[in-house]
Structure 1
């Protein structure tokens, strides 16, 4: 019995929608949940000739729930930083290329596993992702990316809010700003750009202004400096 036969019969037993849910959740969790085990026991009772062990089940179900293709091993870049994707993009990724796994993957403040991470990807998902990107441009149109205003430095940004003469700032404020300037500078790699962003309405106490690190045209980290 090969893996393809197991998948086809399991899909017929569960139904197409339930099968896709089964595959997606098992892969994301990295284990079988209670309802997975319950349905598998029902399936194996009906088809004892297809019974598999735990590792064999995971290997057989290492497929794309959307396209049905077996996932292939690969690697993707890891970037230490934060990025927030727009909800619209996240829905599109889930519905049209859920297993592209093309990266880069951002640590989101967590510990980096290294410059690259091993992934399992679906070739059809990558083709769909490439077609979508070509038609729609940047995939990271989160609120910050959409609200980038101008390239800046930390000192220029501070002076925009506190005055145009650095030497005239009160000494405690100037010293704190110098410390913060060094902290921001430490975030930047060669080739990175610091950009100012802002969105919201100052008059409704919902205004946000901050700074973003842009690397290769993508916002990899951002933080608010002023809120109203």
Structure 2
């Protein structure tokens, strides 16, 4: 299944959304996502494989957040520049989450040349804004904090406006839900690699 078909399927899975919001996403954000997928295709293996999986889930979460989620009231603010920066935020978080899981060890075992330095170099090549987010995540981690709960704050900083959550706990759980989604994705990647199904049509 190619990247562009997966993007279309993502939209089909998101129901009951305002036509104006999804139209704006289609017009402004989808073209930038496609450009990012094309850059991912040019990465060497296994980085192209990993970032393909991460970006599919990242984009699904991004679309949901700005159509029916806590940032839906801000969707009309999105332009090309903000979209590119937000992809940097979400994809950097996805990459960081990957390095905190057993999936990272699986990749280093299966691909001897795979390492964290090249992983982040590939990320910064895809989206330079991720450098800023990576630095902030590292600073929080070094202080013993929890980087996951900062995700909505970094999104707000990019947009210059506040999220609209149902409650403070809903707001704080936003980043944790993203972590859960990525953990599920990374388990699937490891299973596919183990079973030899990676790279085949789904």
TM > 0.5 fold call: no
**Greater Cα radius of gyration, structure 1 or 2:** 1
Query: Relative to total residues, which structure has the larger helix share, 1 or 2?
Result: 2
Larger proportion of strand: 1
TM-score where L is the length of structure 2 = 0.25
What is the TM-score of this pair, normalised by structure 1?
0.23
